[in-house]
Structure 1
Amino acid sequence: MARLIILRHGNTFDKGDTPTRVGARTDLSLSVSGYTQAHSLAAHFRDTAFRAAFCSPLLRTRQTARAVLDARPHAPALRILPFLTEVDYGPDENQTEETVIARIGTEALAAWDRDATPPPGWQVDPAALRAAWASLLERAAELDADDTVLIVTSNGIARFLPDVVDGQPEGLDRKLKTGAWGVVDVGPDGTRIVDWNLRP
């Protein structure tokens, strides 16, 4: 059974910083704590032989993926998949959470966290993102049984994956934390999320 590791990039803010809603138009580097997370991930996956590796064009995903891949010899080339880029938060891009809530309200934000319903003004195409994940899983079904693939993305993109798998743990929280990953098994019986929000 092939396995996909769906990894969210590390932190882009440190303790004491004012965090904002960082989307597709805000290309931040990993913060100090984000690099620490990336190094912990690299140590955790040091013995994992990845068959392929993908990330978004955003610097934070490329830095996280490179840290993991550079920790072992003979790592695969890192390839860019544009659909893995974070969503565009429209007028809420790079705004504090308090400002975002003041504009859209807590229920709109709760709907985004619960079932990935985009709030008004956000530039998100849920159908296209679900189709892109479904296409990737279809390609993954052609992998050899012992292949493992690394996919580094952002929270806004990862949250659509649970909608297109055949099975997942009951009560799964679709929000993927920074520096955390999920595990998707792909085999003849379909696709299943077997773990989610794991950290080293």
Structure 2
Amino acid sequence: MATRQRADTVTRLIIVRHGNTFDAGDTPTRVGARTDLPLSSSGLAQAANLSAHFRDTNFLAAFCSPLQRTRQTARAILAARPHAPALLVLPFLTEIDYGPDENQPEDAVIARVGAPALAAWDNDAVPPPGWHVDPGALRAAWAGLLVRARALGPDATVLIVTSNGIARFLPDVVDAAPAGLDRKLKTGAWGCVEISGDRAAITEWNLRP
């Protein structure tokens, strides 16, 4: 099984970041909400690895963003299941808008906002000046999705495919998370939130098949 078994009953959310949109030799940029790139060759391979990893996981519900990189990743995972749920789009899962740094290489972003501002984003999810993101709204949306998932009942497993800028706000609305958790979810990586009663905890994070 892709997720570990426990004696008690829980609802599980499998949080996946989409696969790569750049390959070796490409110049990666800050790909946000306004840049709808498909998966690259290596990203398609990551999606295939995720599909193989979760082939025995019975997803009761599945959500992604409107962006094709998340839809491609989610569909690859669900394709391994003979009776997969319908893939539903949740707009809040769309990547953030990087404002003037949208689709810019990292050295240009650092030159504009400075390394301390990027460190605040990476460590504390504080957006640099000029980025279009509402942290409070994203945290509320994640909290609402936890409530929605809890209503599916015990032993339900939910697939959620999103982007790095959105996933990093999830740790703020759970009751527990691993010490030293890195907010940045790597491309093609996944984490798990387990909901038991009124308590939600991140039990795994930044794992790749």
With the shorter chain as reference, the TM-score category is: over 0.9
Q: TM-score, normalised by structure 2?
A: 0.95
The answer to whether the aligner puts 1:198 opposite 2:207 as a matched pair is yes
Secondary structure, counterpart of 2:21 in structure 1: coil
User: Separation in 1 of the partners of 2:103 and 2:96?
Assistant: 12
TM alignment of 1:33-182, pairs within 5 A = 33-182=42-191
User: Separation in 2 of the partners of 1:69 and 1:144?
Assistant: 21
Secondary structure, counterpart of 2:57 in structure 1: coil
Secondary structure, counterpart of 1:139 in structure 2: helix
Amino acid at match of 2:168: R
User: Separation in 1 of the partners of 2:175 and 2:126?
Assistant: 20
Secondary structure, counterpart of 1:71 in structure 2: coil
User: Separation in 1 of the partners of 2:42 and 2:102?
Assistant: 22
User: Separation in 2 of the partners of 1:6 and 1:43?
Assistant: 16
User: Separation in 1 of the partners of 2:197 and 2:152?
Assistant: 11
Picking from 22, 31, 43, the partner of 2:40 is: 31
How far residue 139 of structure 1 moved from its aligned partner, in angstroms, is 1.5
Partner deviation per Cα, 1:72-116 (whole Å, 9 max, x = no partner) = 100000000000000000000000000000000000000000000
How far residue 64 of structure 1 moved from its aligned partner, in angstroms, is 0.2
Consecutive unaligned residues in structure 1, runs of 5 or more? none
Consecutive unaligned residues in structure 2, runs of 5 or more? 1-9
Runs of 4+ aligned residues of structure 1 deviating over 6 Å after TM superposition are none
Partner deviation per Cα, 1:143-194 (whole Å, 9 max, x = no partner) = 2211100000000000000000011011101100000001000111400000
RMSD after superposition: 0.6
Secondary structure, counterpart of 2:158 in structure 1: strand
Amino acid at match of 1:23: G
Q: How many residues align?
A: 200
How far residue 39 of structure 1 moved from its aligned partner, in angstroms, is 0.3
How far residue 63 of structure 1 moved from its aligned partner, in angstroms, is 0.2
